[in-house]
Amino acid sequence: MKPRLRFAPSPSGYLHIGGARTALFNWLWAKSQGGVFVLRVEDTDQERSSIESVRAILDAFRWLGMDWDEGPEVGGPYAPYFQSERKAIYREHVERMISGGHAYRCYCTKEELDRQREELKARNPKAQFVYPGTCRNRTDQPDLPYVVRFKSPREGSTEFVDKVFGHITTPNAAQQDFVLVRTDGYPLYNLAATIDDHLMDITLVARARDHIGNTPQQILIYRALGWEPPEFAHLPMMLSPKGDKLSKRHTAVSVQEYRDRGYPAAGVLNYIVRFGWSAGDQEIFGLEELVKKFSWDHVNKSDGKFDDKKFADVAFEHLKRPELTPLDAYAENVRPFLAERGLTEPNARTLVAAIPGIRERARTYKDAASDLDFYFREPPELDTKARDKLLDAAGAARLVELADALAAHEPWDAAALEAAVRTWSEARGLAIKEVAQPARVALTGRSASPPLFEVMVVLGKERSLARLRRAPALLTA
């Protein structure tokens, strides 16, 4: 049977970076095995779920380049893929569990249980409240609101073999009679996930380690329903730099935030995949390569801390390498950030010519847009501090002379230009620096830029000479 993997987000916010990692591992395994990747929306909590979140999550998936074979928008043979539309299915199986003696209706109110919980806490702050089983053996059926609870076995233990953690055994006595269905009739996570994973023929459930404790409960449900559990794989946690749970307080945690900051999607994926997984010493991977190399054998068990610097470096690596980010892709990705700066229609030829010069300088597309700015603005924005430091009247006058000298210069390529300017400078007893730095201010408006002669080539002869001749005007600008 072809492997069927799934990612099942609850649409109560953006796609979290940790969630993206879980999804990625599932996606990679599905791709590499010729299997199916399913997206299922766990929206049984009506209070917290929203359609905006669904859209945000799907957008994040699209941006990351993780496509789903079944799920929202694309449908599939196991539809519907929204749990809120599957209530009838859950109800049917819950009835079966009740009549089979594996579940029961509990009429204890939340208020009542909360009160008991508090009382216990008051007497003994360390104690943990456990549902006392009040309705466990109840035979009457009062006309009152109720929840459905699982009738946990009191003896024995539940075990499973995790693809990452190996054998895990939990005594059943540690399990209380957890709730399956809420008063409002909506199923709870453990119930809905279990039923759907089975009905959707999921073969491997891969999720973060914080679900490891749910697994025995879910296995108990599978058994109660007479089903065989799928395989399980739990991933170590991605923690904040400080070592606690990753949350909004620490760093950028939503996928869209990384997009908005100008990081390349493949770089984001590359960083998170290396989190808990490795392939020898290799650090940088393209997406296709990941599909080929990913396997569960090299997934770690220990949690890790998110590192912004390492993250930035991995992303940068993707920006630098043309084999990972081809020129045209780079151009497309930087456009929105140029647009943010008001440069909505940058000359396409100039853009493509300029990118090689900035791609090893810009750590994000946002930085790239900033670095590229001067190519598309006439005159370029002037950094007056750079001007004050590097350009004076004598220097400006020299640049005009240089422009005149270069007017007849052929060919207009970097090597020839450099040779010409060096010769020109030497003839005047000037170090190249004394000409290049003022020229940089005139040509780019800044103190830092790609190599001067490359800038001149991208700018073209006409614009380069015009900018050099404008140098004296800059002094009073």
Partner RNA sequence: GGCCCCAUCGUCUAGCGGUUAGGACAUCGGCCUCUCACGCCGGUAACGCGGGUUCGAUUCCCGCUGGGGUCGCCA
**For residues 323-382, which are near RNA according to CB under 7 A?**
360-361
Among 17, 58, 179, 399, contact with RNA (rule: CB under 7 A): 179
Stretch that binds RNA, among 70-78, 211-219, 331-339, 467-475 (CB under 7 A): 211-219
With CB under 7 A as the contact rule, the residue among 74, 448, 473, 477 that binds RNA is: 448
Q: Binding mask 303-322 vs RNA (x if CB under 7 A, - otherwise)?
A: xxx-x-xx--x------x--
Kindly indicate which of the ranges 54-62, 74-82, 172-180, 325-333 contains the residues binding RNA, using the contact rule CB under 7 A. Answer: 172-180
List the interface residues with RNA, window 406-425 (CB under 7 A): 418
Annotate 309-372 with DSSP letters as a single string: HHHHHHHHHHHH-TTTS-HHHHHHHHHHHHHHTT--S--HHHHHHHHHHHTTT-SSHHHHHHHH
| CA–CA dist 406, 195 (Å, integer) | 76
The interface with RNA within residues 54-73 (CB under 7 A) comprises none
**Number of residues near RNA (by CB under 7 A):** 85
Q: Is 129 in the site for RNA (CB under 7 A)?
A: yes
Burial annotation 108-125 (CB, 10 A radius, 16+ → b, else e): beeeebeeeeeeeeeeee
Span 224-243, contacts to RNA by CB under 7 A: 236-237, 239, 243
Asked whether position 263 contacts RNA by CB under 7 A, the answer is no
User: How crowded is residue 162: how many other Cβ atoms within 10 Å of its Cβ?
Assistant: 18
Residue 309 annotated to the active site: no
Catalytic-role residue among 110, 121, 242, 248: 248
The answer to whether 168 contacts RNA (rule: CB under 7 A) is: yes
Q: What is the Cα–Cα distance from 242 to 247, expressed in whole angstroms? A: 11
Tokens 């108990």 locate to 220
> Looking at beta carbons only, is 47 or 288 nearer to RNA?
47
In the complex, minimum distance from the CB of residue 214 to RNA, in angstroms, rounded to a whole number: 5
Comparison of 2 and 110: residue with beta carbon closer to RNA: 110
165 binds RNA (CB under 7 A): yes
Is there binding between residue 176 and RNA (CB under 7 A)? yes
Asked if 378 and 417 count as a contact pair (C-beta separation under 8 A), the reply is no
Q: Is 85 a binder of RNA (CB under 7 A)?
A: no
Task: Determine which residue in the list 291, 327, 432, 466 makes contact with RNA, applying CB under 7 A.
Answer: 432
DSSP per position, 366-389:
HHHHHHHGGGSSSSPPP-HHHHHH
Residue 114 or 348 having the CB closest to RNA:
114
Angstrom CA distances, 175 to 96, 154, 217, 220, 393, stand at 21, 8, 8, 10, 83
Task: Give the three-class secondary structure for 131.
Answer: coil
Examine residue 293 and tell whether it contacts RNA (CB under 7 A).
no
Contacts of 374 (CB under 8 A, 6+ apart): 380, 381, 443, 444, 445, 446, 449
Q: Which stretch binds RNA (CB under 7 A): 3-11, 93-101, 261-269, 344-352?
A: 3-11
Cα 358 from Cα 450, distance rounded (Å): 6
Q: Is 247 in the site for RNA (CB under 7 A)?
A: no
Antiparallel, parallel or unpaired: β 157-162 and 166-171? antiparallel
Between residues 111 and 348, which has the closer beta carbon with respect to RNA?
111
Active site residues: 248
